Amino acid sequence: MSAVSSYAKALAVAAGRAVPIATRRHVYLSDRPLVFVPLALAGEANAPLAAMIGTSPHDPYMLLVPQPRNRDLRFGFAASLAEVVLAYVRSCTARFEVVGTDRLFLDAPQLLVPNAAGLGFVKLLGRSTRFRRTNGPYPVPAGVPLLGRWLTHLGERSEHPGSSAMLAMTQTLSAHWASGQSAVEDANLAALLGWIDPPEGVCGSEAALAAEDPLVWPPAGPSTDPAFDNEVLAPAIRAYQSATPDSPKRRRAVETLERELRGQMEPTWRLMWHAIKVLRRLPAAETVETRWTADRRDFSRYHDYLSTDGRPQARRDGAVAAARRLQSLEREQTTFDAARALDDPLVMASYRVTGEAFQGTVVSVDRNRRILSERGRRVTRPKVVVGTGDPVHLPVGESLRAPQRIKQNARITEIARSADGVLVTLELDGGMGRAAVPAPGSVPEVGDEITYTSVYPDAIRSPDLPPTDQTPWTHGGPPRPYVPTDDDAREAWE
């Protein structure tokens, strides 16, 4: 939570509806995302109970496990899910471009789940299926291990800041709107959407309150409502269990389960598409496409890997892989934060409040200023003075950038504070063309409104790690590649 989003939450309480904290959409939204609403049986590690999945709001595909404790039925669920997911993955590989020597698919899978617990479910389902084998003891249908690899891949990818490969809807919405409730309550998709887009004539707090009634809005999963478990689900599963296979009684039991579980998932299914519609109303931020390209690249790479090597991901990362991963996650996080602020003045507001960025008016410009560089050459270094009312907590010497002039470095040479505000003197470098005098428009002019920030992607540097095969002995030497063992495949899934 930043000062801005906290203030926006206070505004939301007063206004009775959510307040936008972004003017742009900072995630990519596929034209046909794969929406996935899973339900799991309470008390088990990862026992799928039912799911709705599909790329069109009008055509959800429903999966069901009538007795979630039954191993074969669980695999049946995984096999049916594999058909849907793998067909979707295949459909993303129809067209590609060639970049350098790499083949880059023009599309990539995007999985949308209701909440953070849904992300966890997908990761665990990936973990529980990727080591399975299609031969030997406990064989599984062909698609299951491959499904496990893809779900694991999406799960890992989703941890990368800025990735849109798999999104939890509540997190995505919270990144764009501040509701008048706490983060705990924001984890409820129905309540959060109630604040953001309440029904006609209802205020956000009322809509959110109504959304907490599990009879009206069943939980968005994967956990089900305990009362539903006890009063509806348990008797229905018992009825299924006690009926002989292929009997009319069992068919009826399955029908009951299907009807009841559909009733639990359908509201969430509708909410998911409602949320997608709400998000589409926001124009995409400028760098969304770049980040989606990174997702596409990662997808293409993993697709190639599966067709050449195809071993499942290790149970746990080795030390070297973990260090590498952590470093890239940190770098992506800072880059993502910076890019978001550059794309969106409302996100930039957070940095202005903390004094890491400021917005103001250009009060004077020394456009054709030339100085002697360290190497003794005459170089163009215009000076501009910006007056601002924002708090400026930046040291002299700090390098800044303006979002519209991202290639042009602006170094603070002087900060003068007075009762009316702050005057910041900046020396500009770069982005002015090759001539002795700066190209037209390349230097801000007096009266221009301009923002300068100390947070921008170029400012982020981290040391490179040595190549994996040159890991020094101090760090255990080059790690041996992971080879899945028979133990991994044999483990009970009950």
CB 124 within 8 A of CB 265: no
CB-nearer residue toward other proteins: 35 or 40: 40
* 483 lines the binding site for other proteins (CB under 8 A): no
- Distance separating alpha carbons of residues 124 and 145, to the nearest angstrom: 13
Binding residue for other proteins, selected from 112, 236, 349, 432, defined by CB under 8 A:
349
Contact 275, 193 (CB under 8 A): yes
Determine, following the binding rule CB under 8 A, whether residue 215 of this chain makes contact with other proteins.
no
* 276 is an interface residue for other proteins by CB under 8 A: no
- Which tokens go with 36? 């996935």
Pick between residue 109 and residue 222 the one whose CB is nearest to other proteins: 222
CB 479 within 8 A of CB 471: yes
**Pattern 367-406, other proteins, x by CB under 8 A:** ----------------------xxx---------------
- Tell me whether residue 78 or residue 410 sits nearer to other proteins (CB atom): 78
DSSP string, 9-77: HHHHHHHTS-EES-SSB-S---SS-EEEEEEE-TTSSS-EEEEEEESSTT--EEEE-SSTT-HHHHHHH
Encoded tokens for 429: 């470098």
How long, in residues, is the chain?
A: 494
- Asked if 482 interacts with other proteins (CB under 8 A), we say no
When binding is defined by CB under 8 A, the residue of 83, 159, 229, 266 that contacts other proteins is: 229
Which residues within the stretch 433-472 sit at the binding site for other proteins (CB under 8 A)?
Answer: none
Min. distance of Cβ 3 from other proteins in angstroms?
Answer: 5
Q: How far apart are CA 158 and CA 332, in angstroms?
A: 12
Measured from the CB atom, is 247 or 404 closer to other proteins? Answer: 404
Q: How far is the CB of 440 from other proteins (least distance, A)?
A: 29
- The residue within the footprint of other proteins, chosen from 30, 110, 115, 128 (CB under 8 A), is 128
Burial of residue 456 (CB within 10 Å: 0-12, 13-18, 19+) is: buried
Among 345, 387, 479, 484, binds other proteins (CB under 8 A): 345
In angstroms, the CA 311 to CA 386 distance is 57
Q: How far apart are CA 362 and CA 428, in angstroms?
A: 13
Q: Using CA atoms, how far apart are residues 476 and 25, in angstroms rounded to an integer?
A: 44
Cβ 449 to other proteins, closest distance in Å?
Answer: 10
In angstroms, what is the minimal distance from the CB of 9 to other proteins?
5
Q: Is 309 helix (H, G, I), strand (E, B) or coil?
A: coil
- Please say whether the beta carbons of 392 and 355 come within 8 A: yes
Kindly write out the interface string for residues 8-27 of this chain, putting x where it contacts other proteins by CB under 8 A and - elsewhere.
xxxx-xx----xx--x----
What is the identity of the amino acid at 466? P
> Is the separation of the CB atoms in 427 and 446 below 8 Å?
no
Chain residues 233-262 in contact with other proteins, contact rule CB under 8 A = 233-234
Nearest approach in angstroms of CB 336 to other proteins is 20
Does residue 46 belong to the site contacting other proteins (CB under 8 A)? yes
Rule CB under 8 A: say whether 493 interacts with other proteins. Answer: yes
Within 155-184, the residues that bind other proteins by CB under 8 A are: 180-184
Binder among 249, 251, 259, 315 for other proteins (CB under 8 A): 315
Angle value at C-alpha 62, between 138 and 310, nearest 5 degrees = 45
Burial category of 115 from C-beta neighbours within 10 Å (exposed 0-12, middle 13-18, buried 19 and up): buried
322 makes contact with other proteins (CB under 8 A): no
Q: Catalog residues that contact other proteins under the rule CB under 8 A.
A: 1-4, 6-11, 13-14, 19-20, 23, 41-46, 124, 127-128, 180-185, 205, 212, 214, 224, 226-227, 229-230, 233-234, 315-316, 345-346, 348-349, 352-353, 359, 389-391, 491-494
